Amino acid sequence: MKKGDSLIDRLNFGSSLGLFEVFPLTNEAVLERLKEAVVKFDVDAVKEACNDALQQKIPPYEILTEGMAKGMEIIGEKYESGEFFLSELIMAGETMKEGMKIIEPYLQAEGKSSKGQVVLGTVEGDLHDIGKNIVASLLRGSGFGVADLGADVPPRRFLEETEKSNAQIVGMSALLTTTMVKMSDTMKALVEAGIRDRLKVILGGAPVNSAYATKIGADAAANDAIDGLAICKKWAGVS
């Protein structure tokens, strides 16, 4: 979208001509509009609301979690209740990715790789990569180098990339209860290769918690992307 196209730009223009008086939307209203646009798979409205939210100086991470991700929660509920099917999950994923393209550069404001190297991926059998992509952006934005292996990553790939890049941190994401076991398989691969002890391993994704991390011998489980970033920063000795 060009500057001048957003709803707020148009309202400001009308206001500057004295056509009407503008009462700016509250941050809550902008985020609500973004959430609704995701639920309607309205890509244009998502882009517009993302730009408006940035223009209102809403923090980029809040735009993701309090706007678009809230819409994704509703999509998940509608899927569970049988109102939506796989095709709607796919459309929702594509819709949020369009919004992510606008927000991501603001998450990656710094982008230098000096705080350490992270190998990151969604585990084998699991195609959910939106949350993992947010984690990658936040890490890069805080100065970590990130080898993002994408989604559906088998244990062997985590191992190969960790050895090749000499990474200090391995991060695994899973959104399905059925693919959590691949986190355990990846841990075993790291142990068998003899490199587990020189690494920190962090898990993330809705079905994963600290108890599961402890059970499979990982170091931590993050509640959300910000928590994941905080844990990695602590390991890297930075605040």
Chain positions 158 to 177 lying near ligand B1M, rule: CB under 6 A, are 171-173, 175-177
Q: Is 37 in the site for ligand B1M (CB under 6 A)?
A: no
Distance CA 66, CA 54 (A): 13
Q: Is 69 in the site for ligand B1M (CB under 6 A)?
A: yes
Contact between 35 and ligand B1M per CB under 6 A: no
Sign of CA dihedral 34, 227, 203, 135: positive
Q: Which is closer to ligand B1M, CB of 11 or CB of 58? A: 58
Helix (H) or strand (E) run with residue 44 in it:
helix 43-55
Q: Which of 185, 183, 168, 188 is nearest to 222 (CA)?
A: 183
Query: Which residue, 51 or 171, has its beta carbon nearer to ligand B1M?
Result: 171
**129 makes contact with ligand B1M (CB under 6 A):** yes
Three-class HEC string of 54-77: HHCCCCHHHHHHHHHHHHHHHHHH
- Does residue number 75 form part of the binding site for ligand B1M (CB under 6 A)? yes
Phi, psi torsion values for 170, nearest 5 degrees: -115, 130
Q: Which of 3, 16, 20, 80 binds ligand B1M (CB under 6 A)?
A: 80
Give the residue with the Cβ less far from ligand B1M, 113 or 223: 223
Compare residues 45 and 146 and give the one whose CB is closer to ligand B1M: 146
- Cβ-count burial 118-147 (b if 16+ within 10 Å, e if not): bbbbbbbebebbbbbbbbbbbbbbbbbbbb
Q: Which residues bind ligand B1M (CB under 6 A)?
A: 65, 69, 72-73, 75-76, 79-80, 86, 89-90, 92-93, 125-132, 134-135, 171-173, 175-177, 202, 204-207, 222, 224-225, 228
